[in-house]
Structure 1
């Protein structure tokens, strides 16, 4: 039975771990919460308390990697609010935290790595975007995600696949709730670029099943109504107050294509209309 280590058993990582268990993989899963260790153990996931730091790698990281052929990194950079980071030397630097893992990864049994990134690496391009589009991130999280992508892809000790997700939604995560009742929301004519949690998990399962390592994929549902259309419709569907939009300024927004993923993975989106 093959083993996979999932660094970050949160909103995406935990249900992903459960889906992989159903495929007869053994799973090691990490959390930063001591209280969550029992949750992982109850799900038959071997639990590890792993808190990444920019100064040094966690003491138990070698044990977390041991025996696994595949590592999935599914942790958000946490660069908002009090954790906002504007320097690689800063104690909150996501780049430094991942960089500290490399010596241990190189000495481990890990042969392939999947890094969950974001379409934020493309910045504010007012165009149609695919994997051949040069990333020009403008946010700090986008900049650090791109730096990590480059760091991992350059390492020849293991094969890395980059998975750039659009905006994440799920049964407990509907972005229309965040915009309900807001006024003068920007970019009403910009297209949405979202993906459902079920598709996130199914795509990762397909990458593992087909051994598509050493590649980069956009993962966005090919459904791109305008922001005004989508969020108004969803607000009404959830009995919320629809937002109002800023219509005087020109809308700026990119359309992100997932054609490469659909073709190369022979993938059909489970929830095409979101």
Structure 2
């Protein structure tokens, strides 16, 4: 029998991910922080649960959600205004609840922001240099789950996310004197995020650390100029760069066998 999947956080990524697992004949439970969305999840065949994580404890049905699943996918990023202690407290509660329910297989959705604003190539083996509060929060949460030898936790660090209703060029269009035009982009389309996460389950890639980023890394100047032109948006203007500057280039040492749907962000047409 296929394992029962639990998606904690059925939002922009989690909801279509849950639906993809259902299309693959998995049993799927999913959580939402909005009670009005329970029927939406249920109508898609997702067993719906209302769960909110707070410092003082979880609201809703966290234990009921966890008790019947075999694999937990944690798709709950830090909030921008949340302190590191708040997020870590919530993830600690989730971790302890998962231990009580004897969950062994965990997928933690993280971000390449944990590498910080460094220059040059980074891989899963690189030293982490988180600069922002949210990146520091993610590092702490990653260590919490991966540090438990009784769990088979896999961490997937996604780059910038693209999708039919989400593209960074919409925020950059028409801006002037942007200073990072020679930096490389590190992006991935939602379809390939879902491909990667489902592949962890179907291939049983447990206890792994993975960067989820396309292998193609054009400069921001080239990429966003093309994307703005394609959409009929004002082209963002970048200042003259510095010779040899590339910004952060995220590579992966663990996903050579995975064939992305688009392979590069220009082909994604999102």
* TM-score above 0.5: yes
Give the aligned partner of residue 82 of structure 2.
Answer: 85
Shift, 1:58, TM fit? 3.4
Give the aligned partner of residue 193 of structure 1.
Answer: 186
Contact 1:4–1:28, Cα closer than 8 Å, also in 2: yes
Give the aligned partner of residue 126 of structure 2.
Answer: 133
Give the aligned partner of residue 273 of structure 1.
Answer: 264
Give the aligned partner of residue 66 of structure 1.
Answer: 67
1:41-82 CA-to-partner distances (Å, cap 9, x unmatched) read: 110101111111012233521100012110000122112xxx
Contact 2:71–2:103, Cα closer than 8 Å, also in 1: yes
Give the aligned partner of residue 147 of structure 2.
Answer: 154
- 1:102-113 alignment, distance < 5 Å: 102-113=95-106
Give the aligned partner of residue 46 of structure 2.
Answer: 45
Q: SS in structure 2 opposite 1:41?
A: helix
TM score, norm. by length of structure 2: 0.93
Aligned equivalent of 2:215, options 218, 222, 240: 222
Give the aligned partner of residue 170 of structure 1.
Answer: 163
Shift, 1:137, TM fit? 0.3
Contact 1:69–1:109, Cα closer than 8 Å, also in 2: no
Q: For structure 2, which runs of at least 5 residues remain unmatched after alignment?
A: 266-270
Counting matched residue pairs gives 263
Cα separation, 2, equivalents of 1:103 and 1:207: 23
CA distance 1:259–1:103, shift in 2 (3 Å) = closer
Contact 1:221–1:258, Cα closer than 8 Å, also in 2: no
Q: For structure 1, which runs of at least 5 residues remain unmatched after alignment?
A: none
1:199-247 CA-to-partner distances (Å, cap 9, x unmatched) read: 0000111110111111100110011000000000100000000011122
Shift, 1:109, TM fit? 4.2
Structure 2 residue 229 is the aligned partner of structure 1 residue 236: yes
Cα separation, 2, equivalents of 1:58 and 1:41: 20
Q: SS in structure 1 opposite 2:191?
A: helix
1:67-120 CA-to-partner distances (Å, cap 9, x unmatched) read: 2110000122112xxxx23441xxxx2111110122211121422000000000
TM score, norm. by length of structure 1: 0.92
